[in-house]
Structure 1
Amino acid sequence: MSSSSTPARTRAGVLQVCSAGALWGTAPVAFAAVGDLPPLAVSAWRITVAAAVLGVLAAATGATAAVLTAVRAAPVPVVVIGLGVAAYQALWFASIPLAGAAVSTVVALGLAPVVVTAWEALRTRRTPSPGRLATIAVAVAGLLLVAGVDAGTGTAPAAGVLLAVASGLTYAAVTVLGRHAAPRMAPLVLTTATTTVGALGLLPLAVLTGPVATTAPVSLLALGHLGVVTMAGGYLLLYAGLRTASAGTAAVATLLEPATAAVLAVLLLGESLPAHGMVGVVLILGAVTVLRNR
């Protein structure tokens, strides 16, 4: 591989991760449309629908054997990543009623790039460059401003913050593990295997803890969007991007999720975005643009 092609591949990887974050940002609008199911059930259906769609896609493209081979060859990473994906989104959704959406978002999403960058520094024994630290600081500052649009508070803030911390740490671990697994497996293979594991772990829990059935057409359409677009499509892009982008870069790039969600809430849900929220969106976009152009 030529030296000139490596930066180009890295930039392409960052763009794929950014695209994943943008797709994830459509999830809150879809969640708002599912009013008759608890958050855990919505999360379980999201990952189960994705697993079913990815399984069909793998079968249609002849990748099923590769998925089974990947599971047999590396069962521990596949299972840990799959259960981690299921866990961090379930923990985040559980934290929102307790700590409020703003606090939960800041803690869960803001913690991940900091933790991943610290881990990469420890692993490589190299201090992150001042430019990289500044980019992370700008992105997290933007996240604080965007999340500050929602001033609501939860019913049990301390418990909610603990759940959000657990979600952020789990997401950071999944990102690091995904970065190591992605170059060894095709994106479809890795996404299908890990999503199926996550569905097998989360759906039974949702069935045991509350209602999971709905017949409302709007809810069914929203669940389909969550599973097909935000989960299957989003994670295909994430794992494709992690083949060349670093875990720390990916953790920052996925902060496009709250920025996209804030903009869509204004355009589709009629919510207002005050000045500090707009500044936050601009800061996140600026930080991601810096990453994209490196």
Structure 2
Amino acid sequence: MITYDKAVQAGTQDDEAFLSRMHKFGVTYSCVGVLLFICVYLGSALMNVTAINQVFFGVMTALGNFGIVGSLVRSFGLARGAGAQIFNLLQNVPTINPLLDKGFVPHTAEGTIELKNVVFQYPSRPDVPVLKGVSLSVKRGQSVALVGHSGSGKSTVIQLISRYYDVVSGSVCVDNIDVRELSVRWLRSQIGLVRQEPVLFNNTVRENIRYGREDATDEEIEAAAEKANAHYFIIKLPKGYDTLVGERGASLSGGQKQRIAIARALVREPRLLLLDEATSALDTASEAKVQLALDKVSSKTFLSMCLQEK
């Protein structure tokens, strides 16, 4: 009986506490309701329709702007991160600066290349040797192919010849002169490079070839296109040399893009022609046309080095 009375008393106390909270809740919201009524009543006499509309549209415009700002917060964050990378790039001082005229500039270039016991590993992976004691000699007028599996160092040889990197030990010589002693700007002006995936800009065929040498005349551009076996398909385009190729050459086939890239390399009149798997991504018919273009330019004037994955 005593337990029952305690249970009833506890329940009664809980009910009284609940009713007390409800009374406070009711009084509070009643006061709020009265204040709202007073505000609306007084506002009906103090405000007019024009003022209400102005406030309404002002609030809606502000809310809309806040919503737009909120959607741009992510874009602001991305721009801030990209800006930091750009500023870091601008502040970076390259160890090999192609914009400087420092170094020896020969009067003539024969175009012979010699690698002597070259040892190299990339700075980002110093524990992974790429080239170990490589020696190679290529004379003027020769066409040399470097064949090997992916990662065997074929493209690295081209990067060392172009002096995008310096060897760890050994030497890379052009015309018996170490490339580290030559002017980087002059050295790269003597090189024509065609990669596996040529980069064409959203411009005309003529201007894409002229990127190889900005002061090239129209006659020189057409002559380079003929050497690259590209002239005859170019003149059949809707506007010939003035046809837009689209972003990344989207309006052209793989073989056509590659031949334009070869023409762009040839208009530079390079002494060294370097081909980095230039035909590996093409079908048989396109590869045959590109190979014919390469055979036409592999004369005694050039040194041609071709890379091919095995």
Q: TM-score, normalised by structure 1?
A: 0.24
* Structure number with higher helix proportion: 1
**Larger Rg computed on CA atoms:** 2
Q: TM-score, normalised by structure 2?
A: 0.23
* Structure number with higher strand proportion: 2
